[in-house]
Structure 1
């Protein structure tokens, strides 16, 4: 009898373990399909199984993540499903689940505390989603879909109606690298600094200044020769490699900053992202994300097939025992030369006879991508085509 009971117990335990493994597999499959990158999507699911009740808990950043998971589980099992998954934004936030960056450069961290890693930055006027709050910090998502934490001074929270009004308003973009917003038309007192790519709302203009409104409602004045009406600026862009390289070269000497994506300090992918943004295009945040877009360019050590403006990615190539790992990116400028942010924004060369020869980078090239040759890709990357900059996203 004891042996029979032990056998039954083993069978039941084995069956439960097998069922749990099947559930884990489905959760993993859905996560891999819809939310493989934790930098851009949240899919944190746990569960309990008691008798015929499968209780799901956790949080997701998109409703359809949850819907697809429940659909798949329902099709595979006959359990009663209890859905306790929270779809972000958190209901605790109320209606103000969007925001506009309120600082010239807003630091965004990996966790909700000032000593934590600087993971990225956002410029004044950047629209964001707000997903949840923790002790005065907000988990936000930026137009490149990157996730991170910002303190409550970094953004101004808006509801959907306020966002639509802001999106539809006339705006000014700052085009010099560094400057100020002043409290008066004589430019005698400053109310904020301002950097290249910052976007503010236009109130009025004169021969010498733009009168603008910052996201938190402060009224100020910007020297007219340092900024442009956003629509006029955007319509003047040609999205060419020549323009990209011109911006890149103007930033030589700018300091390296891990997590930086602004002229105040930039890491390698932040440099590439910044120069493309200042030419009207929004690229993914990190180097290995940037490497996923564009057309693959064949590479040889004579750089036969490369063109100015191509992105060169560095790191470790895949082998039989190790996966590919991309850790750096630079911009090819021709004649075996490239520009990148490493210590500072600098020009280096793959030519061993060049005084700026960089042997280490030459031997760690993983792949080369071309972005500026396909109109459909350019169109998809334009600021004005990004969903965060469209009113319909907030309706």
Structure 2
């Protein structure tokens, strides 16, 4: 069985319970495989990054295997406005955040299960130049930190990097430690370019944080909010508290 998110933002939980930890979010248009299902909950695996979790059955729509496979093959069109809305044939409004996928998009229209929606905002669907990574990251400046979040209303560190890269046409895995397995290692901080990713670990050596490198050894990352700090050989130097907050583990070139 397969499904698609037909609401703006839906929590993906670690257990099938409304009080369970939110580990990520489904954004409108996210397609997935249904691994198992009960009366209220379904365990799903997202097509985009293979991430798994539980979603309330009332918060998605089932789609055919044929539609799922077609979506896997076709170009992905994403809403490029920070926040906008779509309308169906009865002029019902649904808000969607930046990064929402528009299935089978063509000429300001898209469809889910033969239901036609209209979207008149900006879209993005092609690989963009590396400089666009930093330009896109700026859109999320001052977004509050939210564990599991992936939108301008709340975002975590790896949700931030994943969403920014997705909008520029490049897939990243969901969590920082998974993203750190991608790309090419840079030996020295002097080799980095704007758009590269810097990863940071804890005292146990586990990668727990990620940010996007900017010009002049600045870094934009989600820590309390999406903010800009300084990056040096030790890690992130917080310009407000005047102290290091994260220990640098590795810098990676993704594109």
Q: State if a TM-score over 0.5 links the two structures.
A: yes
Query: Residues 149 and 315 from structure 1, CA distance in 2 versus in 1: closer, same or farther, beyond 3 angstroms?
Result: same
Residue 272 of structure 1 aligns to a residue whose secondary structure is helix
Deviations 1:69-88 (A, max 9, x none): xxxxxxxxxxxxxxxxxxxx
How far apart, CA to CA, are the structure 2 residues paired with 1:354 and 1:117?
A: 28
1:136-215 aligned at under 5 Å gives the runs 136-142=40-46, 143-164=48-69, 173-183=78-88, 190-201=92-103, 205=107, 210-213=108-111, 215=112
Partner residue in 1 for 2:252: 369
8 Å CA contact retained: 2:198, 2:211: yes
> 1:268 aligned to 2:157?
yes
Residue 214 of structure 2 aligns to a residue whose secondary structure is strand
> 1:248 aligned to 2:248?
no
Partner residue in 2 for 1:290: 179
Partner residue in 2 for 1:306: 192
Query: Residues 145 and 204 from structure 1, CA distance in 2 versus in 1: closer, same or farther, beyond 3 angstroms?
Result: closer
Structure 1, 350-359 or 271-280: larger mean CA deviation:
350-359
Deviations 1:294-321 (A, max 9, x none): 111124xxx323221221111236xxxx
Structure index of larger Rg: 1
Q: Which has the higher contact order (CA 8 A, sep 6+)?
A: 2
8 Å CA contact retained: 1:256, 1:267: yes
- Shift in Å at residue 359 of structure 1? 2.7
Structure 1 residues without counterparts, runs of 5 or longer: 1-96, 373-395
- Shift in Å at residue 130 of structure 1? 0.6
1:48-59 aligned at under 5 Å gives the runs none
Deviations 1:117-156 (A, max 9, x none): 0001122222211100133111000121111000112221
Residue 140 of structure 1 aligns to a residue whose secondary structure is strand
Partner residue in 1 for 2:17: 113
Q: 2:122 aligns with which of 214, 227, 238?
A: 227
Using structure 1 for the length normalisation, give the TM-score. Answer: 0.57
Richer in strand (by share): 2
8 Å CA contact retained: 2:37, 2:43: yes
Structure 2 residues without counterparts, runs of 5 or longer: none
8 Å CA contact retained: 1:191, 1:220: no
Matched residue pairs, number? 251
- Shift in Å at residue 170 of structure 1? 8.6
8 Å CA contact retained: 1:347, 1:356: no
How far apart, CA to CA, are the structure 2 residues paired with 1:203 and 1:345?
A: 31
How far apart, CA to CA, are the structure 1 residues paired with 2:132 and 2:70?
A: 32
- Shift in Å at residue 357 of structure 1? 7.0
Residue 171 of structure 2 aligns to a residue whose secondary structure is coil
Partner residue in 2 for 1:125: 29
Partner residue in 2 for 1:101: 5
How far apart, CA to CA, are the structure 1 residues paired with 2:49 and 2:69?
A: 19
- Shift in Å at residue 256 of structure 1? 1.1
Query: Residues 339 and 353 from structure 1, CA distance in 2 versus in 1: closer, same or farther, beyond 3 angstroms?
Result: closer
Deviations 1:193-252 (A, max 9, x none): 1121222345874xxxx2443x365544322xx133xxxx434x33x3201000001210
How far apart, CA to CA, are the structure 2 residues paired with 1:176 and 1:305?
A: 33
